[in-house]
Amino acid sequence: MQDPRLLELRRRLPQLRLLTDPADLAYYGQDWTRRWTPAPLAVALPIDIAEVQGVVCWANEQHVAIVPSGGRTGLSGGAVAANGELVLSLTRMQRVLEFDPIDRLLRVQPGLTLEAAQTAAREHGLIYPVDLGSRGSCSIGGNIATNAGGLHVIRHGNTRSWIAGLKVVTGAGELLDLNRGLVKDASGYDLRQLMIGSEGTLGVVVEALLQLTAPLPASQVMLLGLPGVDALMQVFDLFRARVSLQAFEFFSDRGLQHVLANGARRALDGEHAYYVVVEFDAALAAERQAGEEAFGLAQQQGWVDDGVVAQSAAQAAALWRLREGITEALAPRGPYKTDVSVRIGALPEFVREVQALLRDGFPQLEVVWFGHIGDGNLHINLLPPESMGSEAFGNLRGEVTSLLAAALSRHGGSISAEHGIGLVKREYLSSSRSGAEIALMRGIRASFDPNGVLNPGKLFTAD
Task: State the residues that interact with ligand MLT by CB under 6 A.
Answer: 133, 327, 337, 371, 379
CA dist 338 and 330 (Å) reads 13
Q: Which is nearer to ligand MLT, 133 or 334 (CB)?
A: 133
Query: In angstroms, what is the minimal distance from the CB of 139 to ligand MLT?
Result: 16
CB neighbourhood size of 4 (10 A): 9
Query: Residue 366: which residues within 8 A CB-CB, separation 6 or more?
Result: 254, 382, 383, 385
Residue 131 to residue 152: CA distance in whole angstroms: 7
Q: How far is the CB of 322 from ligand MLT (least distance, A)?
A: 12
Q: Nearest approach, Cβ of 344 to ligand MLT (angstroms)? A: 17
Q: How many CB atoms lie within 10 A of CB 45?
A: 20
Name the residue nearer to ligand MLT (CB basis): 75 or 120. Answer: 75
CA distance 150 to 118: 14
State phi, psi for 44 to the nearest 5 degrees.
Answer: -105, 135
Of 134 and 170, nearer to ligand MLT (C-beta) is 134
Shorter beta-carbon distance to ligand MLT: residue 88 or 232 = 232
CA-to-CA separations, 140 to 8, 55, 115, 123, 131, in angstroms, rounded:
30, 21, 9, 18, 11
Residue 404: CB minimum distance to ligand MLT, A: 15
Nearer to ligand MLT, 133 or 228 (CB): 133
Quick one: 51 or 279, whose CB is closer to ligand MLT? 279
Amino acid, single-letter form, for residue 449: D
Q: Which residue is nearest to ligand MLT (CB)?
A: 327
CA-to-CA distance for 234 and 376, rounded, in angstroms? 14
Question: Reading across the β-sheet that carries 105-108, which strands appear in turn?
Answer: 96-100, 105-108, 203-211, 163-170, 175-178
| The dihedral sign for the CA sequence 335, 276, 235, 304 | positive
Dist. CA 204–CA 79, nearest whole Å: 12
Cβ at position 145, least distance to ligand MLT in Å: 15
Pairing of strands 42-45, 86-89: parallel
For the CB of residue 59, give the shortest distance to ligand MLT in the complex, in Å. 31
Query: In whole angstroms, how close is the CB of 251 to ligand MLT at the nearest point?
Result: 9
In the bound state with ligand MLT, the residue whose beta carbon lies nearer, of 259 and 453, is 259
